[in-house]
Amino acid sequence: MKSDTESSTLQQCISFLHCNATDLDADTNFVSNQCDFITLNKSKMDGGTWLMFVFLALLWALPISQDIEEADANTFVSFFVFF
């Protein structure tokens, strides 16, 4: 099993144990370098699910971008007030 992100040894062990317990093709011993559980769940997601996921991600990102814009404006104003 190959890891694409940095994680601790404990996280890697837990991930390996979960994937090993849910492995459908245990004979191959992770030859495909993918967890069957995650692959099956990703294959179940149809276009509507992906659309909802993207919509919710954008809906969540809007307030964050507004906060960043407001913080930038406050920094700009405070720069001229203090200097």
Secondary structure element (H or E) that encloses residue 3, with its range: none
Percentages helix, strand, coil for the chain (3-state, rounded to 5) are 75, 0, 25
Query: Is there a single domain that holds both residue 38 and residue 62?
Result: no
- Whether the Cβ atoms of residue 1 and residue 19 lie closer than 8 Å to each other: yes
Give the count of domains, the chain: 2
Quick one: 68 and 83 in the same domain? yes
Which pair of tokens denotes residue 39?
A: 């692959």
Co-location of 31 and 17 in the same domain: yes
pLDDT (0 to 100) of residue 66: 85
pTM of structure: 0.42
Looking at residue 1, its pLDDT comes to 47
The pLDDT value recorded for residue 41 is: 77
Task: Provide the residue range defining the domain that includes 52.
Answer: 45-83
Residue 52 and residue 16 in one domain: no
Greatest CA separation found in the chain?
69
pLDDT, residue 58, reads: 92
Residues 67, 83: one domain? yes
Mean pLDDT by 10 residues, the chain (83 residues): 64 77 64 70 85 93 86 74 64
What SS3 class is residue 28? Answer: helix
Q: Are residues 25 and 55 in the same domain?
A: no
Q: What is the pLDDT of residue 12?
A: 77
